[in-house]
Amino acid sequence: MNQPSLLLTQGDPAGIGPELALRAWMLRKERALPPFAILSDPAFLERVAQSQGWDIPVMAVETAQIPDTFPKALPVLPLSVSVSAQPGRPDAGAAASVVESIETAVRLVQKGAASALVTNPIAKHVLYEAGFRHPGHTEFLAALASDGRDQTYHPVMMLWSEQLAVVPVTVHIPLADVPSALTTDLIVLTGRIVARELRERFGIANPRLALAGLNPHAGENGAMGTEDGSIIAPAIDMLRQEGIEAAGPLPADTMFHARARSRYDAALAMYHDQALIPIKTIAFDEAVNVTLGLPFVRTSPDHGTAFDIAGKGIARPDSLIAAIKLAARLGAA
């Protein structure tokens, strides 16, 4: 009996997602990739391959056919709408295919027809033009996961690589809004989710968390801000009381060199750039975006749609390949 395979969403068809999926399939043997299918329009993917001069067979399949098809052709789960997009020219008219790809993939993963979900990048501003009402990709996935259930989910973004894993406690908000958005409860909730998923999905028996301070020098005992002592320190105490190994608040400028990284399994940063600058410096091409706190595995390449290079054949598939491999690993946990 075939094991469930991975599903890739289409992403914005005018971006680099479709061509990266095609390139990943071409490298399937060299990179030892597990079977996957992409939810898109087979004719559109054939046109993308032809535009690059790639001789890639594309085959429409059902989920049960993915493992047998994967060695000889790129398996595609067809959407109900056709896709027509020009590289680098985002169009709100493609929003229906983007949304359907995500919705269908989530439904299939939740019913057990696939083991994990890998999402290609979307452009939120394009979806907003078509009436998309969610703040972002991750929030949409959380809403889909909760649909028809009594439980709601708090998604947590982790950027993961073999060298470093980081979690921003506050994510896509202006820097000026971070101090008011940062609460002890939010830090504790995030720490709980990270510790649980490191145990259950990553197989780390006793996860070690390092929490960054918000201010320079973690506040310098209040001389450079009071949030580190009044908000972050109490959260660390609460996590420790729950049996979670948590250190901090630590000065962020000394947390990310190799010797410091050996002391923890994941770093919790207080805002977006505090987390993403170090990992994109250390592992720019290999980092993977992992969503924790959902009832299914979701990974994504750590880059955007890259409209400026779409269709030029120069986009590197390394992050997508890393996302596929990590999704397979976590989906088997």
Q: What is the DSSP string of 207-262?
A: -EEEEE-SSGGGGTTTTT-SHIIIIIHHHHHHHHHTT-EEEEEE-GGGSSSHHHHT
By CB atoms closer than 10 A (0-12, 13-18, 19+), residue 36 is buried
Among 72, 66, 60, residue whose Cα is nearest residue 26 = 72
172 known ligand binder? yes
272 known ligand binder? yes
In this structure, which amino acid lies at residue 129? E
Please give the Cα distance from 289 to 130 (Å, whole number): 26
120 known ligand binder? no
Among 296, 325, 327, 299, residue whose Cα is nearest residue 112 = 296
137 known ligand binder? yes
298 known ligand binder? yes
In this structure, which amino acid lies at residue 127? L
Please give the Cα distance from 166 to 188 (Å, whole number): 16
Cα separation values, 194 from 64, 226, 244, 289, 309, Å: 33, 25, 10, 14, 34
Please give the Cα distance from 236 to 209 (Å, whole number): 10
282 token code pair: 């250390």
Question: What is the β-pairing status of strands 298-301 and 288-292?
Answer: antiparallel
Among 330, 297, 295, residue whose Cα is nearest residue 149 = 295
Residue 313 CB neighbour total at 10 angstroms: 14
152 known ligand binder? no
Please name the helix (run of DSSP H) or strand (run of DSSP E) that holds residue 117, with its range, or none. strand 114-118
Please give the Cα distance from 153 to 106 (Å, whole number): 14
Annotated binding site for substrate: 137-138, 280, 289, 298
Annotated binding site for a divalent metal cation: 172, 217, 272
Annotated binding site: 137-138, 172, 217, 272, 280, 289, 298
